[in-house]
Structure 1
């Protein structure tokens, strides 16, 4: 089956956002007030032409992603720390049509989490079934969600996703639960909390040996996964690092192509089916 990497604009974040520094409130302040920024990073959406229907993983950002937000009061600081670069032609709907695919034909949209660079293109998929973890929805919906920094005021009125409650599901390898999306049993959703409390990842099992793991923001790059470095925006670095260990444990058992949403090397790894670099992992363990 074909898998497409669609780059929906770019994002630049503070260096303390990409790799967190400090603990608790100090970590959050270091993230927002850092004066040093990363290079421009891709914002990938993944599209799987599956026999059971088109599957889109995340939706990228809208063209007005930099529009000023004043509530809650800390949001201008968040916007200063995460800047977007985008044109209308880069929105996910337009790029799907350039591939000869119609957004109206998408069967499932799986959201790894509900931050705006992942849910900003919801409006392109009025006919799709959206899937999100129940825990992420609890964090993101309503006034509580707004106070947590989720931009739920931008969601379409008709946005009513199907929830996956991993707490009631059986384990999948090292992951504490899972949900099988397809009748073929080749696409699984697994909990990967840390960057956000209800973050999930998608695993496509291509065959007995090879898996493709669409990681959202479980880590920003493959290197940071291997080094088990948590970002500065997640509420609990220990939880994120435990997720990293589970992903690496899965990769010990299956050749795994690891595809975070903001990793400049992800598209090449997908095209060439390059699994997680075990040599880098061994080097990180030796340090």
Structure 2
């Protein structure tokens, strides 16, 4: 029996054109930064899976330290113009796990869809877990290059040394590569590049449906179904191809689609509401 919990680790405001991009290539990203309209406060979801093989956390949400004046690099245009965070200490994933009667020290695996701070900011709660991230994502996020791309590698814990995933287990449905995590073969990682080059998603196989934990492949289910890419994806083509593959998967098997900033994601999980054509 697999049980999945949705944990909201605070909220975030982004520019409306980040949620649904306008234009192509570099100009799409420029339009996002110049947009004057903010979204409503969006949730930052993390996911906790009680699995027979051990506790699994998918994304760690963010940290309350984002409220500190020097947490974000002031020279970076995105952090200065494009995002506002709202995370209280009690909203971090560690305290919320304890509220569920679970301990961060008992987590076996932490899977990161990607390494942006609103997905990796809670890493410090999991020093005893094995952490998985795609190899290409880790390489993109490191060092000065990572800072320029919008990551915060200088905020990672000193002990952070993830297991790098190369997706060597062959195809899985419409996805040409995969990585099977569990012995039961019911938790599968698939590459979903778009929002970042190394982005991955997690498919949880249940008896009669799948749960597709999607990170930032889109900001809500409707945008995925419409094939609308976001305003910061580094490659239009990769992002559009990923959305096509996800939609194809959802057509072939009943699927609950759970992006990280979709206000309706928790409700769809609780009511087992599948993607409809």
TM-score, L = length of structure 1: 0.93
SS in 2 for 1:4: strand
Does 2:198 correspond to 1:201? no
Partner secondary structure for residue 193 of structure 1: coil
Q: Could you give the per-residue CA deviations for residues 145-168 of structure 1, whole angstroms, max 9, x where no partner exists?
A: 1221210000001000001112x4
1:1-287 matches, within 5 Å, as: 1-67=2-68, 68=70, 71=73, 73=75, 75-166=76-167, 168-207=168-207, 209-278=208-277
Where in structure 2 are there 5+ consecutive unaligned residues? none
2: distance between equivalents of 1:25 and 1:45? 30
Matched residue SS, 2:65? coil
Structure 1 CA distance, aligned partners of 2:244 and 2:29?
A: 23
C-alpha deviation, 1:71, in angstroms: 4.5
CA contact (8 A) 2:73 2:79 kept: no
Secondary structure of the structure 2 residue equivalent to 1:64: helix
Q: Distance in 2 between matches of 1:26 and 1:164?
A: 32
Does structure 2 conserve the Cα–Cα contact (< 8 Å) formed by 1:70 and 1:76?
Answer: no
Shift of the alpha carbon at 1:171?
0.8
CA displacement, residues 113-146 of structure 1 (integer Å, 9 cap, x when unaligned) = 0000000000000100000001101100122212
Q: 1:234 to 1:72 in 2, by over 3 A?
A: farther
C-alpha distance in 2, partners of 1:98/1:71? 33
How large is the RMSD of aligned CA atoms in angstroms? 1.3
How far off its partner does 1:203 sit? 0.2
Q: Quote the Cα distance in structure 2 between the aligned partners of 1:249 and 1:90.
A: 35
Q: Distance in 2 between matches of 1:198 and 1:51?
A: 28
The Cα shift of 1:80 comes to 2.7
Indicate if the aligned counterparts of 2:55 and 2:107 stay in contact, CA closer than 8 A: yes
Per-residue CA deviations over 1:199-221 (Å, capped at 9, x if unaligned) read: 000000002x3000000001110
2-structure distance, mates of 1:222, 1:103: 30
Q: TM-score, normalised by structure 2?
A: 0.96
Count of paired positions: 275
